[in-house]
Amino acid sequence: MRGALALWPALFAASLLLAWLVGPLPVPNAMRPDMAGAISAAMGWLVNEATFGLFTFQDATRAFAALIDLPYQAARIALVEGVSEGRGSRAVTLVPPFGWLAVTMAAAALGWWAQGWRLAALVAACFLYLAAFGRWDSAMVTLASILIAVPIGAVAGLALGIIAFWVPRLDRVIAPVLDLMQTVPIFAYLVPILFLFGFGPVAALVATVLYAMPPMVRVTTLALRSVPTELDEFARMAGCTGRQRLAKVLLPAALPDLMVGVNQVIMLSLNMVIIASMIGAGGLGFDVLNALRRLDIGAGVEAGLAITALAIALDRLAHAVADRTRGPAATGGSFARRHRLVLSVLGVALAITALGLVVPAAQDWPKEAVISTKGFWSDLVRTLNTQYFDQLEAVKTALLVHVLLPVKRLLLALPWPWVVALVTLAGWQLGGRRLAALCLGLSLFLAMTGLWEQAMTTLYLCGVSVVIAGLIGVPLGILAAASDRAGRAIVLMIDTLQTLPSFVYLIPVVMLFRVGDFSAMIAVVLYALAPAVRYTAHGLRSVPPELIEAGQVCGCTRFQILTRIRLPSALPDMLLGLNQTIMLALSMLVITALVGTRDLGQEVYIALTRADTGAGLVAGLSIAAIAIIADRLIAAGAAGARARLGLTGEGHA
């Protein structure tokens, strides 16, 4: 292994020499088929000409859109619009929607039932923030979308997971599809969906469901496989059919784990909120996107914090409900007795809504009581810009001149066959033939797309951002593992960074540093920092105490124990954190296309604005190819590190 590692400095020197003497080589036209044109033609045929018996493909998409739109409109009526007669200024409200007080009390009651008064107070505070800061209507539009997208995504994911569990051969087919769905950037989902379903909330809901569903499929399969075999065998001995075993044994036993999958669907749906607003979702996502377009930092931060508040409330409720399902379910008695809490909360909500007809403050938060921090955030950024402009420019210039531009020039100057060979060699050393073949195929795909320069730009931005995130995150993780007090403060910081919507990072960064690669890099580092911190701290805490005691007995100092025992033992976990950092960086790079980068993310964004399905999918698949190569190489490296440390019984070829 050491000999293989010693080879890479020589390969790096050869890369510098090739970049200087040879420079970039164009990919031959014979190797660049018109993938985008073929995909666009196929999509056009599918929409305009494809028929299935008596029905066309358009009939199917219209029926599916209507199936989603019906419950969505019902949710909007209940939470946003109510039932009215007439239009415009002459509209008369016949039945008002549930107001802020009714929804807040219902959510708090659910928190109290699931976990107690602490969760009830937290959930109530989150919903109170939405009302007090004037974000209630937008939040309810977003909540209406979540209430429809989450059940559809959870049920569809559950069904696919059950099928994959029963048919292992199908599971082997579904697994790479799920990998692809989770690595293709969010923007790439929007391009074909916009083409198939048009502009509007239904298209946004479809995109949200597709983006949020894959984790539910994986969790369902893993949860069913983790059910003790004794339970399944007992059900067989009792004469249960396959359907009875599934419905009465396997699913109830796996329910707590399945609720974790539902929680993932909720969080990914909220992550999709802003992106989906670009094709008509509305709600809080549109507020953030509109603030970004106007560079209104105050409005953007308030809307972003509103999404964070909604995410915290739904996340904690989902976790609490999952824990509550571990207990015995209520059985026996009438429907009203078994569901008295739900019926009581619904009755109180209806009563408060009726009260809102008499007392408007119970229905709509009074306008004179709305709180705003827009001025504070805008003044803060303006102050930083005026008082620290020279220092910020100095840091920006230094990083651009000494780090970003040299790395970019090197990658763009390397001949593409050499890069393909290096990636394939890395796959061979870390994972053997199969990984080498995968790396070779995916890197050749990048060359064949005709987007090699954009791919190298993506690689340079992602690589520099991940290295900087590691240089910041690893020391923070070490500090968090060494001190409980520091750990709590650091966890609070990274939790805040991770719950903020990705678009929110762009607004202050652009106002401080303007558009360009440097702004994109800063936003990516902030967004992708959390895994580097978490996995480093977790790995250091997981080091066996016997190893540390052995080092102390040998007279090692604390620094020696850290560098020679704890960090090497934590390396596999740190590599997994690196993998997650890369995945988050790639997903954020697509969003930073809005601040002027010239990478694959920009290609996806341009394709979205032009509704060019082929170009958008090719660029999205190119990003997925980079993500899969990085994921497989790092996973193989982590497995090899575990084997060398004796943490697993299997070596790695």
Q: What digits encode the pLDDT tens for the residues 252-305?
A: 888 777 877 887 888 788 777 777 777 777 888 888 888 877 878 888 888 888
For 171, list phi and psi in degrees, rounded to 5: -60, -40
The CA distance from 546 to 561, in Å, is 12
Residue extents of the structural domains in the chain: 58-83+96-330+359-366+373-379, 406-436+451-639
Going by pLDDT thresholds of 50, 70 and 90, the confidence category of residue 466 is very high
AA letter at 618: V
Tell me what the pLDDT averaged over the chain comes to.
83
3-state secondary structure 374-428: HHHHHHHHHHHHHHCHHHHHHHHHHHHHHHHHHHHHHHHHCCHHHHHHHHHHHHH
The CA distance from 331 to 398, in Å, is 68
The CA distance from 182 to 180, in Å, is 5
Lowest mean pLDDT among 262-266, 275-279, 318-322, 324-328: 324-328
pLDDT at 132 over 50: yes
Q: How does 413-441 read in b/e, with b if 16+ C-beta sit within 10 Å? A: bbbbebbbebbbbbbbbbbeeebbebbbe
Mean pLDDT of 194-206: 82
pLDDT at 651 over 50: no
Q: What digits encode the pLDDT tens for the residues 161-170?
A: 888 888 878 8
- In this structure, are residues 22 and 437 in contact, taking their beta carbons and an 8 Å threshold? no
| CB atoms near residue 30 (< 10 Å) | 6
Going by pLDDT thresholds of 50, 70 and 90, the confidence category of residue 650 is very low
Check the CA dihedral 607-608-611-613 and report its sign.
Answer: positive
Q: Do domains 58-83+96-330+359-366+373-379 and 406-436+451-639 have the same CATH topology?
A: yes
What class, spelled out in words, does domain 58-83+96-330+359-366+373-379 have in CATH? mainly alpha
- In this structure, are residues 133 and 190 in contact, taking their beta carbons and an 8 Å threshold? no
**Per-residue confidence (pLDDT) for residue 601, from 0 to 100:** 85
Q: What digits encode the pLDDT tens for the residues 556-566?
A: 888 888 888 88
Tokens, residue 642: 């575990």
pTM: 0.81
Nearest to 207 by CA among 68, 377, 342: 68
Residue with token string 């420079």? 23
Q: What digits encode the pLDDT tens for the residues 405-425?
A: 999 999 999 999 999 999 999
Tokens, residue 251: 């699913």
pLDDT at 653 over 50: no
Mean pLDDT of 384-410: 89
Q: What digits encode the pLDDT tens for the residues 608-646?
A: 888 788 888 899 889 989 988 998 898 888 888 777 766
Tokens, residue 449: 């797309």
For residue 453, the surrounding DSSP H or E stretch is: helix 452-482
AA letter at 592: T
Mean pLDDT of 333-360: 70
Q: What digits encode the pLDDT tens for the residues 485-500?
A: 888 888 888 877 777 7
Under CATH, domain 406-436+451-639 is a member of which superfamily?
A: MetI-like (1.10.3720.10)
